[in-house]
Amino acid sequence: MFRQVTVTLRDSFSPLKVRNFRIYLAGQAISLVGTWLQITAQGWVVWELSNSAAALGFVAMLSTLPILFSGPWAGVWADRLDRRRVLIFTQIASMTLAFALALLLQLNAIRLWHVYVISTLLGLVTALDLPSQQAFLGDLAGLSEVRRAVNLNAIIVQISRMIGPALAGIIIGALGSALAFWLNGVSFVPVIASLMVVRAREARARHDSRASALREFSDGLRALGKHARLQELITMVVLVTFLVFPIVSIMPAFVGEVLHGDAQTLGIILGASGAGALIGSAIIAPLMQAARRVGLALISAAVWMGVWFLVFASSPQLLVAVVSIFLASIAFPVVFATALGLVQVIASPEMRARQLSLFVTVSFGTQPIASLLAGLSAQLLTTAVAIQLNGALLIVGATLLAARTGFRKWQVAPAQNDR
What is the residue extent of each domain of the chain? 9-199+220-414
| DSSP per-residue letters across 142-161 | -GGGHHHHHHHHHHHHHHHH
Among the listed ranges 88-92, 242-246, 281-285, 299-303, which one has the minimum average pLDDT value?
A: 281-285
pTM of the model: 0.67
Mean pLDDT of 347-369: 67
**Which class in CATH covers the domain with range 9-199+220-414?**
mainly alpha
Distance CA 243, CA 237 (A): 10
φ, ψ for residue 331, nearest 5 deg: -85, -25
pLDDT digits (tens, 9 = 90+) for 104-116: 999 988 899 999 9
Highest mean pLDDT among 31-35, 129-133, 140-144, 368-372: 31-35
Q: State how far the Cα of 294 lies from the Cα of 302, in Å rounded to an integer.
A: 13
DSSP string across 254-323: HHHHTS---HHHHHHHHHHHHHHHHHIIIIIHHHHHT-SBHHHHHHHHHHHHHHHHHHHTT---HHHHHH
User: What pLDDT does residue 336 have?
Assistant: 80
How confident is the model over 178-196, as a mean pLDDT?
92
pLDDT, position 182: 94
- Residue 217 has a pLDDT of 60
Q: Helices marked H in 347-382 — which ranges?
A: 352-364, 367-381
CA atoms within 13 A on the CB side of 392: 8
Q: Is the pLDDT of residue 417 over 50?
A: no
Mean pLDDT for all residues in the chain: 80
pLDDT at 227: 66
Whether the pLDDT of residue 214 is over 90: the answer is no
